[in-house]
Structures are given as C-alpha cells and as structure tokens.
C-alpha cells in the first residue's frame, strides 16, 4: 500500500506507459527521474503511467522506459525483460522500449541492440512530444520514424546525429508533487518518509572525472518563490515531515533562505552531500537545526592529486569544516575517496591516509568509503585504463593503514568496478575534443 498515488481508471482509448527503475524498490522510491515521468505522463487526461521496479510490479504496457543511474543495472534490465517474457531482439519485439538517465546521457550506444530509442537530456522537454507522437501514430515503425525528428530523441537506426534537449527554466516546469511511498517502511529506506525537493540541476564545478559537465553546461536553479510553493504543496499532499534536498553541489544563491523557510515550517531536512568550499558555519548551523546529524563529503584523494583532477580544495578547508561540524554537534562525517586515479602512486595513497588521520583529529567519528576510480565516457579521463593489479595493491595498503587508525571503512570490490568500466564503454563512440 502506497500513499499518495495518482488513481486513474482504465477506459476505452486510454494510453499507458510504464516507467521502470531497474533496481530494488527501497532505493527506487527516491529516484527523481521516475517521479518526473510518473507525474508528467499522468497529467495527461488520456494516459496512465505506473512505476515498475526490479522487485515490484509487472510490465503491462506496449510502451515503457528505463532510467539508468548505474551501469551495473544493465544486468537487471535483461533480467526484467526475461521475467516479463519480453523479447530482447527489438526487431522481433512488438513492444517499444526507451531508455534515459545519467548512464544513457554518457553513452547512448550501449543498449542499442535492445532499446528502440533513447531520451537524451531533460524528460520534461522530451516526454510531452513523445506522448503527442504516440497518440497520432502507434504502429512501431512509423512511430520511430516520427520521433527521430524530435530534439533529444536518438533512434539508433534512423537518427543521423545525437542531439540533447534541455529545459532552460526549471521554475516554469511542473514539479513531481506526487511522490508515492509505502505506508510502512524499514531501515532499508535510507531517507525515511521524506519529500524530494530538487532546487537546482547541474553543477558549476568541473571535476575531470565527472560526466555532469559534459551534458549539463550550466546550473539551472528554481526560483525561491516557486520552491516555497512546491514545499507547501508537496508536504500537504504527501503528509511528510521531512524534506531531502536534491542537488549535485548545493550552490543555490538562496540556499540559506530555503533552509530557513523549511525551519519556519517546522520541517526536518537533509542534504545528502556537501562541497566544503561552498559551505560556511551559518549553513552548517541551519543544517544541524534541521535535524541532520551526519554529513557527507568527498575529498577523493590527497591535496596535490585533488588539484590535478579538478577538485581545487585544500586540506585546510576540510579541517576547518571538521572543526565547525564538531562544534555544532554533528555525530558523524562520511568521507568518499578513490584509488586507481591517474598519477596516483603508493606515495599518494599514504598521503591520503595522512590526510584522514589529521581530519580525525578535528572530528572523531568518521566513516570512510573508498571506490576504485572508474573512467567514464564524455569526461577528460575517458581514455584512462583501469589496472587491476594497481588497484588491488592500493586496496591492500589502505586495509593495512586503516587498521592502525581504527576507523570504520568500506572499500568497494575491484572486480565489480572493472565490470562497471567495461559496461560504461560498450559500443561507445567518443565525442570528447
């Protein structure tokens, strides 16, 4: 049982679409892309849209789409097709499948043998045109010919070039107010019963390993007055007492106003990740008043290498951040790092350990998450090759050194990261100049 749901009755002549999150339900309920499509399609009188997850729901429409946030979910894509008895070969299949999301924006060629068309850019700018085209033409071949002309749609056998389509003003788009969640949740639902609030889209920082700058050329921010209306409507409809702020880097010019407004409404809130160079004591104080007890940051590596990869933040700024967080009473800081970066030797790994030791002097309770660096398409590091031997060696050094520090940590599997790398580049055609 979920609440709130958009209830629509089947009737003659109605069209239907399934939007699919190819992973577990407890994570998928927080996926904004799914919510955008769900709300958008259901806003049309003659359309019904339902959500489907790896472990919940069945595909029951001729037209359906997937959003891919992680490359490893490609395995789940094939699993979902099999479980729903849907033909993999698109030339033999009567159903029409589309795909979008960060992985597709980075490399729309991976699933070209299975997917009929790809949505590149913002769903709000593209889906309405798809809906109109489908209402006019439902025969598969004709429909694909028609939509290949739409900016932001890529039909592998028909489109002559790839074109992305983005909305210019977020404030003028309808927000996904309906955000269904189960009435009863458990600890697997990491954000609890909360309302997702996207305040901006894109990131102004140009880290060399990140794909965001390759297709989001600038940061688009929602107007503060519009955000206030979204918060009011969203909280009233969904009956939630907590807001999760959805933002890549939390750079909104009115971010302090937003946090103060949430406090005025007696709402709890959390910000999943922060950039320390863009966060001051006042902002941290507001976050603490909002009930958040754990902060998440991503130093990535030691200071010298951090500068090389485009994350130009000094160690001193991280230590200052830790001091402020400690004084304000935050209970834990989660820190994300990478191994296997370009020019990262054993020396840099030990420098990274030294940085963690010094950080721990300023803030006692930390949790360290280490991930092998996975090069991604459309980034400045797309030509870099992962080396299993180097990664395993650096992983062992960290395990040894962390045992001396006495911290809680997790190091992601090297083999899993290598799979992710291979999946990310399958069928890829480079566009990086």
Shared-domain flag, residues 285 and 303: no
Per-residue pLDDT reduced to its tens digit, 369-378: 999 999 999 9
Q: What is the pLDDT of residues 233-284, one digit of tens each?
A: 999 999 999 999 999 999 999 999 999 999 999 999 999 899 999 999 999 9
Q: Which domain holds residue 33?
A: 2-154
Side-chain-facing half-sphere of 167: CA atoms under 13 Å: 18
**Is 186 part of any domain?**
no
| SS3 assignment, position 149 | coil
**106 and 121 share a domain?**
yes
| Total domain count, the chain | 3
For residue 369, tell me if it sits in a domain: yes
Per-residue pLDDT, averaged over 290-294, amounts to 97
pLDDT digits (tens, 9 = 90+) for 168-188: 999 999 999 999 999 999 999
pLDDT for 12? 85
328 lies in the same domain as 287:
no
Angle at 170 between CA 169 and CA 171, to 5 degrees: 90
Enumerate long-range contacts of 279-287, CB under 8 Å, 24 or more apart: 279/250, 279/321, 281/324, 281/328, 282/256, 283/255, 283/256, 283/259, 284/321, 284/324, 284/325, 284/328, 284/330, 285/328, 286/256, 286/259, 286/260, 287/259
End residue of a domain, out of 256, 275, 292: 292
pLDDT (average), residues 35-45: 97
Whether residues 259 and 398 share a domain: the answer is: no
Tell me, yes or no, whether 173 lies in a domain: no
The reply to whether 22 falls in a domain is: yes
Q: Is residue 31 part of a domain?
A: yes
Together in a domain, 251 and 359: no
Which of the listed residues 100, 128, 154 is the one where a domain comes to its end? 154
Q: b vs e for 141-179, b when ≥16 Cβ sit within 10 Å of the residue's Cβ?
A: eebbebbbebebbbbbeebeeeebbbbeebeebebbbbb
Q: What is the mean pLDDT of the chain?
A: 96
pLDDT at 433: 42
The CATH number of the domain where 131 resides is what?
Answer: 3.40.50.280
Residues 287 and 301 in one domain: no
d(C-alpha 12, C-alpha 143), whole Å: 21
Location of structure tokens 């109109």: 132
Instruction: Say whether both 118 and 9 belong to one domain.
Output: yes
Same domain as 395, residue 358: yes
Backbone angles phi, psi at 108, to 5 degrees: -80, 5
The pair phi, psi for residue 390, each rounded to 5°, is -65, -45
Residue 175 lies in a domain: no
431 pLDDT above the threshold of 80: no
Ranges of H-type helices in 265-333: 281-289, 303-308, 315-328
Report if residue 183 sits inside a domain.
no
- pLDDT tens-digit series, residues 189-203: 999 999 999 999 999
Indicate whether 138 pLDDT > 90.
yes
Query: 277 versus 214: which is more confidently predicted?
Result: 277
Q: What is the CATH number of the domain that holds 206?
A: 3.30.750.210
For residues 230 and 303, membership in a common domain is answered with no
Rounded-to-integer distance, Cα 361 and Cα 333, Å = 13
Name the more confident of 272 and 42. Answer: 42
CA distance 423 to 196: 30
Tokens of 314: 């000094």
**What would the mean pLDDT of 150-154 be, rounded to a whole number?**
97
pLDDT at 212 over 90: no
Same domain as 339, residue 271: no
- The CATH number given to whatever domain includes residue 384 is 3.30.750.200
Q: Does a structural domain hold residue 203?
A: yes
**Long-range Cβ contacts of 391-394 (<8 Å, 24+ apart):** 391/339, 391/340, 391/417, 393/346, 394/339, 394/340, 394/344, 394/346, 394/349
Residues 311 and 400 in one domain: yes
Average pLDDT over residues 297-320: 97
Residue 48 above 50 pLDDT? yes
Q: What is the pTM of this model?
A: 0.95
| 32-42 vs 123-136: helix crossing angle, rounded to 10 | 40
Between CA 204 and CA 252 the distance in angstroms is: 11
Q: 126, 154, 182: which is the final residue of a domain?
A: 154
Residues 287, 298: one domain? Answer: no
């Amino acid at each position: 049982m979920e609440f709130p749901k958009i209830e629509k009755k089947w009737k003659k002549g109605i069209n239907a679409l399934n939007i699919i999150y190819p992973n577990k339900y407890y994570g998928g309920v927080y996926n904004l892309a799914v919510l955008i499509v769900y709300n958008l399609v259901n806003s049309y009188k003659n359309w019904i849209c339902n959500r489907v997850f790896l472990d919940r729901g069945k595909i029951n429409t001729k037209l359906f789409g997937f959003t891919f946030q992680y490359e490893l979910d490609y395995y789940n894509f094939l699993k979902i097709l099999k479980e729903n008895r849907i033909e993999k070969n698109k030339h033999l299949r009567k159903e029409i499948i589309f795909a979008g999301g960060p992985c597709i924006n980075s490399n729309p060629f991976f699933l070209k043998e299975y997917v009929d068309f790809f949505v590149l850019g913002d769903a709000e700018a593209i889906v309405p045109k798809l809906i109109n085209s489908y209402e006019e033409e439902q025969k598969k071949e004709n429909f694909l010919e028609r939509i290949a002309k739409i900016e932001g749609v890529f039909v592998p056998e028909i489109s002559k070039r790839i074109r992305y389509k983005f909305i210019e003003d977020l404030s003028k788009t309808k927000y996904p107010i309906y955000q269904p969640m189960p009435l009863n949740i458990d600890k697997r639902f990491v954000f609890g019963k909360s309302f997702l609030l996207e305040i901006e889209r894109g990131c102004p920082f140009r880290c060399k390993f990140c794909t965001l700058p390759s297709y989001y050329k600038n940061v688009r921010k929602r107007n503060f007055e519009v955000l206030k209306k979204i918060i009011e409507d969203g909280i009233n409809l969904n009956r939630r007492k907590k807001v999760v702020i959805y933002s890549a880097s939390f750079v909104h010019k009115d971010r302090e106003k937003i946090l103060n407004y949430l406090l005025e409404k007696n709402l709890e809130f959390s910000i999943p990740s922060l950039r320390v160079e863009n966060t001051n004591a006042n902002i941290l104080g507001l976050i603490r008043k909002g009930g958040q007890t754990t902060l998440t940051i991503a130093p990535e590596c030691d200071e010298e290498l951090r500068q090389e990869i485009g994350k130009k933040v000094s160690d001193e700024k991280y230590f200052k951040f830790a001091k402020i967080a400690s004084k304000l009473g935050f209970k834990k800081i989660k820190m994300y790092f990478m191994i296997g970066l370009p020019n990262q030797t054993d020396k840099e790994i030990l420098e990274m350990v030294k940085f963690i030791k010094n950080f721990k002097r300023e803030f006692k309770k930390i949790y360290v998450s280490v991930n092998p660096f996975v090069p991604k398409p459309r980034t400045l590091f797309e030509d870099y090759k992962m080396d299993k031997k180097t990664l395993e060696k650096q992983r062992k050094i960290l395990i040894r050194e962390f045992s001396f520090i006495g911290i809680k940590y997790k190091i992601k599997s090297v083999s899993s990261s290598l799979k992710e790398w291979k999946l990310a580049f399958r069928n890829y055609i480079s566009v990086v100049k």
